[in-house]
Amino acid sequence: MAHVLVVEDDPIVRSALIRHLTDAGHTVRSVGTALQALREVSQLGFELVILDLGLPDLDGFEALKMLRGVTEVPVIIATARDDESEIVRLLHAGADDYLVKPFSVEHLSARMAAVLRRAGARSGPVPQDRTVRVGGLVVDPLRRQAQLDGAPLDLTRREFDLLAFLAQRPGVVVSRKELLTEVWRQSYGDDQTIDVHLSWLRRKLGETAARPRYLHTLRGVGVKLEAPEPLP
């Protein structure tokens, strides 16, 4: 059973989805606009989002990109659009699955179960049980805590997984394909996803791509984490 957010502006469809999901034992909240959805996922923890594309305030594709900017919760697209190129575009933008309207409640339930299984399987790499120290950076995989120069780092789940994976391999260049496989648990994906998370992580480590301290990108090869050079 999951905590589900339904993003659907049609009151009839929304009521039907809420009724079905509640009867199936899920906890459900619903909103009718993209901005309301962003507010909900920012404030509450959901295990799944069902996102309609025909929202009144924002196109569903843009809504999906904005959701991906604030959460990694699995998203199932509910759409009347059956164009293959549009579906591929949505999957590349971060959707976990899609359903073309009209669909049966049984079909929805099966897709939800599959997405939730995949989400559990890709929840991140199995961490080592030892605390890792790289320069002033301390990463505790079991407690899922990280500190920089004694100050705690406020990291998202994916940011922590990425940092922990790299910190356990100090000085080793890790390819983007390996990051997708081991951290994102995906066999393929968009490099931009990695770049965005690296950018967020750099910001929290007090560095930039132009002036790196811990995270170093080797163009066309991969990424490595190593301790900064000591100041002269």
CATH code at position 183 = 1.10.10.10
Co-location of 72 and 136 in the same domain? no
Average pLDDT over residues 169-177: 88
Residue matched to tokens 């929202």? 55
Taking 70 as the threshold, does the pLDDT of residue 55 lie above it? Answer: yes
Residue from 175, 21, 227, 17 nearest 103 by CA: 17
Cα–Cα–Cα angle for 149, 167, 163, nearest 5°? 80
Provide the domain count of the chain: 2
Residue from 169, 158, 152, 150 nearest 199 by CA: 158
How sure is the predictor about 124, in pLDDT bands with cuts at 50, 70 and 90?
very low
**Residue 99: inside a domain, yes or no?**
yes
Q: Can you give the pLDDT at residue 153? A: 94
Residue matched to tokens 């190593």? 226
Taking 70 as the threshold, does the pLDDT of residue 109 lie above it? Answer: yes
The per-residue pLDDT for range 126-166, each reduced to its tens digit, is 445 578 999 999 999 888 899 999 999 998 888 888 999 99
Distance separating alpha carbons of residues 60 and 156, to the nearest angstrom: 24
How far CA 157 is from CA of 33, 82, 119, 165, 227, in Å, comes to 26, 33, 13, 12, 23
Evaluate if pTM is beyond 0.75.
no
Which DSSP helix (H) or strand (E) runs through 3? strand 3-7
Taking 60 as the threshold, does the pLDDT of residue 82 lie above it? Answer: yes
Co-location of 137 and 62 in the same domain? no
Distance, C-alpha 112 to centroid of its chain: 17
Give the domain-ending residue among 121, 154, 185.
121
Residue from 208, 205, 128 nearest 169 by CA: 128
Give the domain-ending residue among 121, 141, 171.
121
Expressed as residue numbers, the domain containing 53 is 3-121
Taking 60 as the threshold, does the pLDDT of residue 123 lie above it? Answer: no
The per-residue pLDDT for range 181-222, each reduced to its tens digit, is 788 776 566 667 788 889 999 999 999 999 999 999 988 888
- Check which CATH number belongs to the domain holding 111 and give it: 3.40.50.2300
Cβ partners under 8 Å of residue 41, min gap 6: 5, 49, 67, 70, 71, 73
Lowest mean pLDDT among 80-89, 116-125, 131-140: 116-125
Residue matched to tokens 């393929």? 188
